[in-house]
Structure 1
């Protein structure tokens, strides 16, 4: 369990007042000991959101209004971390505490240096390969509050996957998702690039965009305005929609900064559940990722249709059915 913040609170390295305290993107396993009763969590990643809610935390995708204090949990994206600090400073009265907590692997050392340059940073508490510190709220530097970006005419935001441009794997996969027909699911749709390509076909009757990151899905809503599109803020590995004729996906493969092929395997299993008996999966993956066993377990037919630039495009057909499963 992530207990660095609780230890910093119990040891007096940081302090939080009674009242409304907003937690920006807290991890699902956050140790809640020492936090005041008025805690509200802002967590837009659906699996963590749901895990926190199951623990009784008051959690929502977006939080507005003033707060007596805030805790910012460092994100992998430095731009997103700076944006959360700027939002916390705008929400918390001058002089009240803004606490920042994060792991070294996620860049907390850089954030400590940045904050020391502009805020009156107090004691830095180091524990469990990370750090926790606080400073009195004040105006954040210009440029820390992230502005919406435009990439090839499409909206993206700080912290979403491939925020600075179309992912190379998705660009390759796009060549294989034109001309589709029937009902299509874009699993892990991000900010909607692939779905917009899918919907260039007039044979599509429905395209479901399933995305766990709330900010990415908000971008997709603006980028994909076709009335055949529908949007689902959900964990793609457990979502229960369907059935679909085709699933397209460029699945994520990182947990924190480490490659984690289990995520892609979970996407493959989810695709098998979501497809009709004659349905097919079209996916792209980094060449080195070992998905062959999972594909063989889930589908009767699998073929690599392209292997280029470090990526492989895979088409899988005829999902295997487990005993007792029905549509």
Structure 2
């Protein structure tokens, strides 16, 4: 797996060590033997622990930071070959956002477990740790609450039953994405693709690609997710008897990279899929870049990530090349695109989403 580091697509955990990591540090006396940390959100945790082990993150930027810590076996996501069955005596599972992802993470933990290994689940109350206990007890009925600290709960299960044979591919689900009469099959993992179909923003973007195609033989899909845009675009071009563009994809999350590769494989799409935390460290140029970037700002609008993204995009867009993206209409994209890329127009808008098209100056 190629991992590239750059500017983050989204905030990971803010400054300092997350509460869940601090709660583990307070209870590090529970740890013994060969250690595995699953779902690490901040590499600073490794500096605070007096021992080493295996550390996994599904975020490309965090993984890159983990790899700088000597003595640790670092892993990127759920399909890293270093995740060796039966190799760990203490497995710490940090609570993920998606409930279904917790099931997948617990299954991975049990595959790593040696005979008489212990499992420790740590999560914040606001993240839903209370509801996650039922999932924990489904695989470890003997689990008990060890501590409440830093707005978190720490649960421990002694002598969990190992479950070898874990393969992330067994967690794949398949859905269909359809636009302009063209359908593609899309791979899903927890938190990556909705079985309800396309989100409205992506649908609008695809409709503009059908109505007003990007004139380029090679494209980049930034924040590609499960690979919907690239797979659909190539299928539509083939059905329309138009030249088929190669569509490369980049995403920050390991599940997205796994899904995008599976989606491309299933649909016969072409293009390189890589994991990267932003674009700053990617050395390539494209005549066209398309994106449904995941910038969710909540109540307070923060344009700093958008500005960084557009600055990076400019460095990877050939002179005269087109940027096509969809974003929430309330976000101040238009003026920023004009500032960093060039002339910009709105191709479609419905009050909630807007599709922008811009061309980099020559």
Task: State the 1:244 CA deviation.
Answer: 1.1
Q: Structure 2 matches for 1:46-57, cutoff 5 A? A: 46-56=60-70, 57=72
Deviations 1:166-189 (A, max 9, x none): 222111111123443322110111
Report SS of the residue matched to 1:199: helix
Task: State the 1:127 CA deviation.
Answer: 2.7
Task: State the 1:24 CA deviation.
Answer: 1.0
Task: State the 1:140 CA deviation.
Answer: 9.3
Q: Which residue of 1 aligns with 2:46?
A: 32
Does 2:74 correspond to 1:59? yes
Does 2:251 correspond to 1:211? yes
Q: Does the C-alpha gap of structure 1 residues 12 and 205 become closer, same or farther in structure 2, counting only changes over 3 Å?
A: closer
Deviations 1:18-40 (A, max 9, x none): 22x22112012442366463411
Does 2:190 correspond to 1:158? yes
Q: Does the C-alpha gap of structure 1 residues 41 and 255 become closer, same or farther in structure 2, counting only changes over 3 Å?
A: farther
- For structure 2, the residue ranges without an aligned partner over 5 or more in a row are 1-15, 177-184
Please give the alpha-carbon distance, in whole angstroms, between the structure 2 residues aligned to 1:131 and 1:258: 29
From 94, 102, 109, the equivalent of 1:88 is: 109
From 216, 219, 222, the equivalent of 1:187 is: 222
- Point out which structure has higher relative CO (alpha carbons under 8 A, 6+ apart): 2
Q: Structure 2 matches for 1:1-327, cutoff 5 A? A: 1-2=16-17, 4=19, 8=23, 11-12=26-27, 15-19=30-34, 21-32=35-46, 35=49, 37-56=51-70, 57-61=72-76, 62=80, 63-66=83-86, 67-93=88-114, 95-116=116-137, 119-139=141-161, 147-152=171-176, 153-160=185-192, 162=194, 165-178=197-210, 179-180=213-214, 181-200=216-235, 201=237, 202-225=242-265, 226=268, 228-254=270-296, 261-308=303-350, 310-318=352-360
Task: State the 1:149 CA deviation.
Answer: 0.7
Please give the alpha-carbon distance, in whole angstroms, between the structure 1 residues aligned to 2:291 and 2:38: 29
Please give the alpha-carbon distance, in whole angstroms, between the structure 1 residues aligned to 2:130 and 2:294: 26
TM-score for the superposition, normalised by structure 1 = 0.84
TM-score for the superposition, normalised by structure 2 = 0.76
CA contact (8 A) 1:85 1:140 kept: no
Please give the alpha-carbon distance, in whole angstroms, between the structure 1 residues aligned to 2:299 and 2:105: 20
Q: CA RMSD in A?
A: 3.1
Please give the alpha-carbon distance, in whole angstroms, between the structure 1 residues aligned to 2:233 and 2:45: 43
Please give the alpha-carbon distance, in whole angstroms, between the structure 2 residues aligned to 1:234 and 1:170: 21
Please give the alpha-carbon distance, in whole angstroms, between the structure 1 residues aligned to 2:135 and 2:302: 30
CA contact (8 A) 1:86 1:140 kept: no
